[in-house]
Amino acid sequence: MISNKKHRSVQFATLSLPCFNYYKDLFYNSNNLKIVPSNIKILLSPRGLAYWIMVDGSLQNKGLHLNTYGFTPQDIFLLKTTLENMFGENTLKCTIHNHQKGERIYIWEESMELVKKTISLSLCIKICNIK
């Protein structure tokens, strides 16, 4: 059936720029599989954590899940350890949870205030309930 309704659509394309190859090489191996670089403890900053939360985080109860699907169990453990120790004396309480899609990292409720205080207010919309 043909109607007289007008439909609008938007198309866009993304570019792949050579300046980003450095990051691809850090996080993908020669077989194009996701990896966590061995120096992730140096690379992951509070701002990086904020971006990770915005893209792959979800509130669960009063804590937070970080999706880590596609990484090996060893890499997920390395990420968990990095998160636990990234704030010096103030450690994050994290565990690894199984999900139907794979494993993911859970940041416990008692660590959420530290996460909220550390990441920039402009980036914490997802976990700070700011409307």
Q: What is the pLDDT of residue 78?
A: 97
Mean pLDDT per 10-residue section of the chain, whose length is 131 residues: 76 86 93 94 90 90 93 96 87 93 95 84 57 47
Is the pTM of the predicted complex or chain greater than 0.85?
Answer: no
Cβ within 8 Å of residue 20, ≥6 positions away: none
Q: What is the pLDDT of residue 124?
A: 56
Tokens representing residue 4 in the block: 């007289």
By C-alpha distance, which of 116, 98, 108 is closest to 53? 116
- CATH placement of domain 36-128: 3.10.28.10
Q: What is the pLDDT of residue 131?
A: 47
| Domains of the chain by residue range | 36-128
Cβ within 8 Å of residue 106, ≥6 positions away: 60, 63, 64, 65, 66, 94, 95, 96, 97
DSSP sequence for 114-130:
HHHHHS-GGG-HHHHT-
